[in-house]
Amino acid sequence: MRVSRFFVVILWFCVLFAQITRAEENTLSFQGFSGLLNTPHGGVMEYGSATFMFSDQLAERGRDQYAYADNYILGIGFFPHFELTGRIAATNTHDNSFLPENAGETRDLSANIKVHAPFIPEDWFDLAAGIQDLGGASNYFDAKFVVASKTISDFRFSAGIGKSESHVGRMDGVFGGIEWMPLDWLRLMAEYDGADSNVGGQLQLPVTLGNFPIDIGLKVQLLTDAPKIRDKNFFGISLSIPLTKQRISREDPFENIRDSAMAHLGLENTQSERHDQNSGQDNAEIDQPKQKASEPSAIVQTEQSIAPETFGRPDSQDKMKMNDLFDPTNIGQSVPPMEDGSAAVLRLRTKQLGLVLIEYGFEGVEVGFNANSLYVVLENNVLNNNEIDVFGVVFAAVASSGIELDSLSVVLKNLDIPIIQVTAPLKRIQALIAPECIRLNERCAAVSEFERTMEVAYIDESAAFAAQRNITWVNLSTDSDVFWTPRVIFEPIISGYTATEYGVNDSTMGIRTYLGVPIWKGNELTAIWNTPIYHTNDFRNGRFKNQKMRAGLRNLYFNQTFKINPNIYSTLSAGKFLFDTLGWVSDSVWNFDEGHQRVRLRWTELYNDDDRVYKKRQSYVGQYRYYFPSLDSAVQVSYGTYLDEDRGYLLETLHHFGDTTFSLYFKKSDYKGVGVAITIPLSPRKAMKPWFFQARMVERWSYGLETVVGQDTNPIEVSFVRVPTPTYTIEKDMFNHDRLSPVYIRSHVLRIQDAATLWEAE
């Protein structure tokens, strides 16, 4: 049996140095769906988890036996009760299947889906249905099945029926299996797969490395009665991870429906009983009557009591006299005169707050106050993975500043354009980010109270703070605007073909460097360079040599964004695109229904002097997107004329797991295609602070696979439904990848709470 020594060493390392936790119950089978060895059970992968597996078992194409081969499987728990897996199967990873000596070898890219019945109570049984090798021109592993499972003590019994095109007869008829789980990390299994009986085992080692939980697994087929492979033992090595380390507030969307149905039938679902241990917490402190701003106890402290520790870091300016820190002539009439000097102390603390936020890395910082409220306006270029982290950091900074007013309003800008405003009572903010609330693994009562009292809205720039009278804006005596600070961003580029007859992976790789210079409000100059690093043989001097990554200046253009009203934005990008093409791209976005819905229009004209291509290409694409906060997912559909002058549509679903996004899409114009893509952050949660420049990795890096469907053949060098998208877009640069909306912020309060720890870490 071919188990690498390297894997054994890693396994023992994890045993010795990691904290063992509970193992994942629904692991992948050799066939790519969750199950035993070759058959499925009634469960699905855990929602929000991902598993990568390598196995060496393959049913050879056109032959009635299994053989050693390479299988690369990736499975995702996309939704509650739904899993999607992709599989690359290859007799040999590097052989060119067009050569005569390699004729008959298998190389295939396939997808599997499996759906668990959501309305059956968990203590009854599990029921699932699935399809193996969905779609595609060549279906080597096509199978459809329905399976039920019942767990009794340490045993899980499964039985199902399927229809399969497998030459070995797998899952073509009745199948079933038994699993025995005597220990959390050990599982023994026996199955009948419709043709053969198999016996095997699985070691599943759940560990925590640092604060990140992972599962490392080894699955082995020990015995089989298949006549041609009785002397062969197959194995699979797997790695399972959660797709986010942040706590998520989403619940099973089917749970309330199931509970209601059970109650209607007069039955009790014992598995659905849930108790909030924190619901009885004493809220007396945060529910106390608010003090009037004029009461001395609200803000009175002597100058000596404003210690550097108040803000969590030393600052030499804390030792300066109060009159040296601000200009007293700027004190507004909104602050009532106080004999004890509390108005001056409030101004001092507000100025210190602004300076500390600048020191943290925020730009364009403005701070002010009136008799009841504190106001913070800023621009963020350091917390780029998810900009709602800004609110958590500002909340923590204000809570530690000693400022005691009734409420806090935070306005977030991009390129000096105000985008969104969050307002909440300071008492609720302090309760939300209290350490005893953050440490809980469940929602504490303060979270619900904060959600109830928080106000979030797209901000009307022309009427910003118009409803708030007599605001005193504090002079910070420093320039922190965003303009003329170069931003250098690095992004790895991997482009190529996967699981074709030329090889399992043919790719061209390099680094794409972005230089963006903000010049004035809403304006940025963008330049992009390509630096090739590596090409596989077929890109270097083989079949794809004309498609390898091209070096040099790729794009150079201006971007100007206009804010029509709080919900409508438009950007015009004009200059040089794709090395030798001149043109412009217009991108307009309308967000409405608090961000649940969005309409987007893109209009492109490109000109090229090369006679071999069109001298003028036009593209008109409209898009509608709807966001589902309970699932943190979105569905969007696009229709129009695309870059290759083909007319068609694109249907896409986006699924967010913290800072990781998975997307599935179907597109149709001259061809039909399906694809999957993953987007992950490559930069740390907090990037380099802007200085004379700022350098960082790209905050969202994407990689995807797609294939043509609905054809007798599977062409790989076709281009259709392509949208020319500049690096600078409203969705990305104004709304942080479509996440700066009231509905998104309200549904991610736990993320804001978690971000408060970033301030404590500093």
The structure tokens listed for 261 are: 């149905």
The predicted model gives 421-431 an average pLDDT of 95
Question: How many Å apart are CA 342 and CA 355, to the nearest integer?
Answer: 20
Choose between 46 and 102: higher pLDDT. 46
Locus of tokens 């053949």: 713
Q: What is the 3-state secondary structure (H, E, C) of 247-280?
A: CCCCCCCCHHHHHHHHHHCCCCCHHHCCCCCCCC
At residue 461, the pLDDT reads 66
* Positions of E strands within 472-615: 472-473, 487-500, 503-518, 523-535, 552-565, 568-577, 581-592, 597-607
Locus of tokens 């007293």: 328
State the chain's mean pLDDT as an integer: 81
CATH class of 487-746: mainly beta
| Residue ranges per structural domain of the chain | 5-242, 304-480+748-761, 487-746
Question: How many Å apart are CA 599 and CA 588, to the nearest integer?
Answer: 8
Q: Which helix (H) or strand (E) holds 356?
A: helix 342-360
Q: Which residues, 6 or more positions from 120, have their beta carbon under 8 angstroms from its beta carbon?
A: 126, 127, 258
Choose between 108 and 245: higher pLDDT. 108
Quick one: DSSP state of residue 40?
A: B
At residue 343, the pLDDT reads 81
Q: Is the pLDDT of residue 246 over 50?
A: yes
Fold: same for 5-242 and 487-746: yes
- Residue 446 burial by Cβ neighbours in a 10 Å radius (0-12, 13-18, 19+): buried
Contact 194, 162 (CB under 8 A): yes
The structure tokens listed for 108 are: 């295939």
Q: Is the pLDDT of residue 351 over 80?
A: yes
Locus of tokens 């030329």: 502
Contact 683, 385 (CB under 8 A): yes
Choose between 227 and 729: higher pLDDT. 729
Q: Is the pLDDT of residue 151 over 60?
A: yes
At residue 311, the pLDDT reads 34
The predicted model gives 648-667 an average pLDDT of 93
At residue 735, the pLDDT reads 95
What phi, psi does 531 have (nearest 5°)?
-130, 100
Q: Are strands 173-183 and 186-192 parallel, antiparallel or unpaired?
A: antiparallel
Percent of the chain clearing pLDDT 70 (strictly above): 77
Q: Is the pLDDT of residue 284 over 60?
A: no
Q: Is the pLDDT of residue 326 over 50?
A: no
At residue 330, the pLDDT reads 33
CA distances from 217 to 31, 56, 183, 201 (A): 16, 15, 14, 11
At residue 108, the pLDDT reads 79
Q: Is the pLDDT of residue 269 over 90?
A: no
Contact 585, 617 (CB under 8 A): no
Q: Which of 454, 429, 446 is nearest to 278 (CA)?
A: 446
The structure tokens listed for 327 are: 């200009």
The CATH number of the structural domain formed by 5-242 is 2.40.160.40
Choose between 97 and 487: higher pLDDT. 487
Question: How many Å apart are CA 45 and CA 48, to the nearest integer?
Answer: 9
- Span 706-745, pLDDT tens digits: 888 877 667 776 778 887 777 789 999 999 999 999 999 9
Amino acid at the residue 80: P
Choose between 324 and 758: higher pLDDT. 758
Q: Is the pLDDT of residue 662 over 50?
A: yes
Angle 155-79-270 from CA coordinates, rounded to 5°: 50
CA 67 to chain centre: 38
pLDDT band at 155; cut points 50, 70, 90: very high
At residue 63, the pLDDT reads 65
pLDDT band at 339; cut points 50, 70, 90: very low
At residue 396, the pLDDT reads 94
